[in-house]
């Protein structure tokens, strides 16, 4: 493991201690719309990434831990003013790296609005892709940028709406994996169509009347599995002669 990540040992100890609560397997439902996301959420927080570290544990696997500071709950309850988002992925050894494209990635010096899951989690504590970079918008309010790099323009019970074009280049370079990515343009028009954070949160609070946030956020991954072996699901479907070619 790289020398800069020696601090990971301490975090590993912290994570291991937290597991003693005995989390169970992930149980939240698949996300098909915003309401699914809300009922899978314990708390929505806002904070700034001030540090990235790596941990490794034989069971939990390699983790990239983003520390958010000045954390405050926007909806739901969260105690403390820091948050560690420990996604699966990162260095295993000096010459081996695990990368999971489906998981959200946070960058240094960036403010985020994060939906934290209410279920026992293993891969990421973030609900789906409900983690939004916050950027000052042209009208003085913050606007939200999704992991895809597109700005959020609306939210309904059915899902999120985005700008047609991305506003941030989301390309990942492993030489600087946590580098904050610049906006694609400094022209204020770039974010003109984006939804203000306040409007977004107002809409979320309204939707939460139908699909209220519930449960508690667990700070550490579930302990009922290991990262490097996965049970498969027996195929009991009828055989078919179609081969798809």
For 93, phi and psi rounded to 5 degrees? -135, -175
Backbone angles phi, psi at 126, to 5 degrees: -85, 140
47 lies in the binding site for another protein (CB under 8 A): no
Say if residues 148 and 170 touch (Cβ distance below 8 Å): yes
**Pairwise CA distance, residues 144 & 131, whole Å:** 9
80: left (phi over 0), alpha (psi -120 to 50) or beta: left
Q: Which of 138, 166, 215, 219: binder of another protein (CB under 8 A)? A: 166
For another protein, the closer CB: 70 or 165: 165
Beta bridge partners of 205: none
Judged by CB under 8 A, does residue 231 bind another protein? yes
d(CA 146, CA 153): 10
What character string, x for contact with another protein (CB under 8 A) and - otherwise, covers 185-224?
A: ----------------------------------------
- Asked whether position 122 contacts another protein by CB under 8 A, the answer is yes
Closest CA to 221 of 57, 97, 100, 76: 57
Should residue 3 be labelled a site residue for another protein when binding is judged by CB under 8 A?
no
- DSSP state, residue 71: E
Min CB(38)–another protein separation in Å:
15
d(CA 90, CA 100): 9
Residue 147 in contact with another protein, rule: CB under 8 A: yes
Yes or no: say if 39 and 129 are a contact pair by the CB < 8 Å rule.
no
From 18, 35, 59, 98, residue interacting with another protein (rule: CB under 8 A): 98
User: Buried b vs exposed e over 51-60: b needs ≥16 C-beta within 10 Å?
Assistant: ebbbbbbeeb
Decide: is 79 part of the binding site for another protein (CB under 8 A).
no
**Does 175 help bind another protein (rule: CB under 8 A)?**
yes
Specify the residue, 79 or 230, whose C-beta has the smaller distance to another protein.
Answer: 230
Residue 121 interacts with another protein (CB under 8 A): yes or no: yes
- Of 32 and 77, the one with the shorter C-beta distance to another protein is 32
32 part of the interface to another protein, by CB under 8 A = yes
Q: Is 30 in the site for another protein (CB under 8 A)?
A: yes
Q: Can you give the binding site for another protein, defined by CB under 8 A?
A: 25-32, 91-92, 94-102, 121-124, 128-129, 147-150, 153-154, 159, 161-164, 166, 170-175, 225, 227-235, 237-245
């Amino acid at each position: 493991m790289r020398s800069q990540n020696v601090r990971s040992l301490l975090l590993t100890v912290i994570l291991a201690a937290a597991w003693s609560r005995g989390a169970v397997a992930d149980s939240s439902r698949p996300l098909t719309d915003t309401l699914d996301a809300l009922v899978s959420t314990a708390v929505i927080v806002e904070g700034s990434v001030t540090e990235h570290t790596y941990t490794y544990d034989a069971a939990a696997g390699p983790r990239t831990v983003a520390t958010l500071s000045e954390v405050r709950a926007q909806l739901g309850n969260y105690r403390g003013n820091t948050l560690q988002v420990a996604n699966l992925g990162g260095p295993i050894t000096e010459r081996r790296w695990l990368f999971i494209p489906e998981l959200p990635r946070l960058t240094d010096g960036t403010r985020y609005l994060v939906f934290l899951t209410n279920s026992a989690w293993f891969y990421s504590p973030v609900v789906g892709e409900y983690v939004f970079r916050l950027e000052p918008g042209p009208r003085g309010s913050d606007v939200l940028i999704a992991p895809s790099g597109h700005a959020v323009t609306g939210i309904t019970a059915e899902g999120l709406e985005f700008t047609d074009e991305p506003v941030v280049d989301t390309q990942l370079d492993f030489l600087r994996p946590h580098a904050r990515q610049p906006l694609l343009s400094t022209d204020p028009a770039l974010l003109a169509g984006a939804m203000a954070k306040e409007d977004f949160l107002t809409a979320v609070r309204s939707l939460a009347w139908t699909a209220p946030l519930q449960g508690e956020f667990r700070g550490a991954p579930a302990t009922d599995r290991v990262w490097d072996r996965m049970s498969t699901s027996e195929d009991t479907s009828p055989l078919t002669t179609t081969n798809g070619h």
